[in-house]
């Protein structure tokens, strides 16, 4: 079992250009940087005040292979919708209650698989990594978010996933964010979806 886990971890490290051979080990200890976009909607729910919300933003991730940890940040805009005379959500009245969020997660321990991560419709994502920890920052329009505790206590799961490590695939293509704790009353407890904007160069070189 231990040897199987080691082989899996080595494969994922290779995916991030961390280790290609014994001679590249020193280079493999460099921080790996990923970034991308978030575009999604929260569902209409009685437990999410003001829902449904439209969410757009950008995110950034630094992976520290020597420590097995990650630092994550996201900057988002959110806005809701107006209501019809009967009180139903009116999609013709967007951009209600616009606001911003800054989110940080630091020194989170990485798990090198996507077990327990939110799935995608076919084609499904096949491999990746994840980490979950208490947020170190969660703002609303620059101040501590009104739904958050004075010292942030919300938890955030971040999953990076993608296709098989074969030609014409991208192993780092997708991201999902799942909040729990106080933040779930605003973002919802469902997965928030996004995309990796620029996978590592080796993924493109592999397809040539």
d(CA 20, CA 27): 9
- Contact of 109 with 86, CB cutoff 8 Å: no
Q: State residue 94's pLDDT score.
A: 83
134, with CB counted inside 10 A (0-12, 13-18, 19+), is middle
Q: Is the backbone peptide bond immediately before 162 cis, with ω within 30 degrees of 0?
A: no
- Per-domain residue ranges of the chain: 29-206
pLDDT at res. 29 = 67
Q: Output the six-digit token pair for 192.
A: 């928030």
pLDDT at 58: 98
Please give the pLDDT value at position 62: 96
How far is residue 201 CA from its own chain's centroid?
A: 20
CA 36/CA 1 separation, integer angstroms:
35
Quote the pLDDT of residue 207. Answer: 45
Structural contact between residues 199 and 170, judged by C-beta atoms closer than 8 angstroms: yes
Q: Locate the DSSP E strands across the chain.
A: 32-41, 54-64, 69-80, 82-83, 89-90, 96-109, 127-134, 137-140, 143-144, 155-162, 174-180, 192-196
Q: Is the pTM of this model over 0.85?
A: no
What SS3 class is residue 110?
A: coil
Q: Give the gyration radius of the chain's Cα atoms.
A: 19
Tens of pLDDT along the chain (208 residues)?
A: 544 444 444 444 444 443 233 223 334 568 899 999 999 999 888 999 888 999 999 999 999 999 999 999 999 999 998 888 887 887 788 888 999 999 999 999 999 999 999 988 888 999 999 999 999 999 999 999 999 999 999 999 999 999 988 888 889 999 999 999 999 999 999 999 999 997 655 554 444 4
Tokens of residue 1, six digits: 């079992």
Cis previous bond, 52, omega within 30? yes
State the pLDDT at residue 133.
Answer: 98
At residue 8, the pLDDT reads: 44
């Amino acid at each position: 079992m231990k040897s199987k886990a080691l082989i899996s971890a080595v494969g994922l490290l290779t995916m991030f250009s961390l280790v290609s051979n014994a001679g590249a080990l020193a280079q493999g200890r460099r921080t790996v940087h990923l970034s991308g976009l978030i575009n999604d909607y929260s569902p209409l729910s009685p437990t999410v005040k003001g829902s449904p919300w439209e969410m757009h933003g950008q995110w950034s991730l630094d992976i520290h292979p020597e420590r097995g940890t990650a630092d994550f940040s996201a900057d988002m805009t959110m806005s809701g919708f107006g209501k019809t005379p009967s009180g139903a959500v009116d999609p013709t009245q967007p951009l209600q209650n616009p606001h911003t969020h800054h989110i940080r997660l630091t020194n989170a321990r990485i798990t090198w698989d996507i077990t327990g991560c939110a799935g995608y419709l076919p084609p499904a994502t096949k491999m990746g990594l994840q980490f979950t920890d208490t947020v170190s920052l969660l703002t609303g329009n620059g101040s501590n978010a009104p739904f958050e505790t004075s010292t942030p206590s919300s938890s955030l799961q971040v999953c990076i996933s993608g296709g098989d490590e074969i030609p014409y695939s991208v192993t780092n293509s997708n991201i999902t964010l799942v909040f729990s704790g106080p933040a779930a009353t605003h973002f919802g407890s469902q997965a928030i979806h996004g995309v990796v904007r620029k996978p590592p160069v080796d993924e493109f070189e592999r397809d040539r």
